Structure 1
């Protein structure tokens, strides 16, 4: 009984410390590195109903690589890739968030700790396109690029001189996963810029490529509260985008 109470007390204290620290840094994915970059899209060959994926082109991006719980360097964690795509419409941006996940029809919905950034990342839940089609998006290493390694420092080193690249992929419903584009890392951004970044995967998306479901919908509230708590500027209010996600269509 005493051991159980001690464990509960330790857990409460750890959570309290984490909440206090989140006044100045992210509660989730606190440790990360951000970069400029470029996304090259070549598409699937057949229309998906999402302009971003159907129109070949190149778009500037802001890319963040992170550790979900902030474990020590080299230790397993739920790793993350946040991708902000600037375009293809001028003045618009699309935020796509990926976490290390399992493989296969069911396990791709489950976040999985990984020791290396050279892993597969998924959006966990599907997206809907303008035609109502369901897409599962994922990110994976480019085997022709430099290895990202096990630490944030090794990721930064790999990004030097266009050495680090990731592949963007999509699966139509329960179909096979196919590559749709490539992300090239650019220069590393200052720590102050990284700290100020505020991604929103619900509001910062186009109507023809949006997340669906309750879990994604809960992010609309959680991300906004967390960003205000740590002093970051959240995305502009968009009730229609939140309702669209919660409606699961």
Structure 2
């Protein structure tokens, strides 16, 4: 049923069922690391990654109307494979919340990932010209581990589909109950876009 709903919505829109349109920009993730560690190498270890960021509006409402804003991050792994994270503006950590500006408030993964040492949320907040990336246990404080620098120039000419289930960051596993919801939704959205003749 979920697949059919997302397929129909994507077919009508000729785009993704949710976050149908967005701007994809080049970015760099500068990781200073985290101690004590989480068991997730990408979070714990310092380094620098080439990345893409997609800013989008969840329901596709026109600006300046508030909408649940999306920040999709794709990091290029050392092997060249994509690692994807999807964050949305929230009230607190778990409740999707509409905003007008991606630089206001918190972006959160909403669902906690299954990490090697327990559940972890990932968040981003705009501070002094860049996004701070942080992790937190469901009840613990946010712990910044990296800076996300968005370069403000278009990164690609073709649409990019971010899929955190297929392209999970190693150690940040999507919980099974969320996989059961997300996989048919993404599959339905992809089929709907193919039927409409568009891949965006």
TM-score (normalizing by structure 2): 0.85
- Residues 34-113 of structure 1 aligned to structure 2 (within 5 Å): 34-87=24-77, 89-103=78-92, 108-113=93-98
Contact residue 200 and residue 220 of structure 1 kept, 8 A: no
CA distance in structure 2 between the partners assigned to 1:17 and 1:216 by the alignment: 20
- If asked which structure has higher relative contact order (CA below 8 Å, sep 6+), I would say 2
Aligned to 1:157: none
Match of 1:21 in 2: 12
Q: Deviations over 1:82-107 (max 9, x none)?
A: 000111x312221000011111xxxx
Larger helix percent: 1
Alignment RMSD: 2.3
Structure 2: unaligned runs, 5 residues or longer: 1-5
Show the 5 A alignment for 1:157-176: 165-176=130-141
- Give distance in 2, aligned partners of 1:78 and 1:216: 21
Q: In the aligned structure 1, how far is the partner of 2:176 from the partner of 2:87?
A: 16
Cα distance, 1:215 vs. partner? 3.0
Preserved contact between residue 128 and residue 134 of structure 1 (Cα < 8 Å): yes
1:120 to 75, 95, 106: 106
Quick check: 1:215 aligned with 2:200? no
| Corresponding residue SS for 1:214 | helix
Q: 1-side partners of 2:81 and 2:10: how far apart?
A: 32
8 Å Cα contact 1:134-1:172 kept in structure 2: yes
Please say if residues 94 and 205 of structure 1, whose CA atoms lie closer than 8 Å, have aligned partners that are also in contact: yes
Are the equivalent residues in 2 in contact too, given 1:33–1:188 (CA < 8 A)?
no
- Closer, same or farther: CA 202–189 of 1 in aligned 2, 3 Å: same
Normalising by structure 1, report the TM-score.
Answer: 0.70
Q: Paired residues, what number?
A: 190
SS at match of 1:128: strand
Stretches of structure 1 that go unaligned for 5 or more consecutive residues are 1-14, 146-164, 234-249
1:199-244 deviation per Cα after TM superposition (whole angstroms, max 9, x unaligned): 11111014412121423431122112212331377xxxxxxxxxxx
Q: Contact between 2:134 and 2:146, CA under 8 Å: does it hold in 1? A: yes
Q: 1:137 to 1:20 in 2, by over 3 A?
A: same
The answer on whether the counterparts of 2:10 and 2:193 sit within 8 Å (CA) in structure 1 is: no
With over 3 angstroms needed to count, the CA separation of the structure-2 counterparts of 1:121 and 1:206, relative to structure 1, is closer
Cα distance change on mapping 1:91 and 1:76 into 2, 3 Å: same
| Structure 1 position 181 matched with structure 2 position 146 | yes
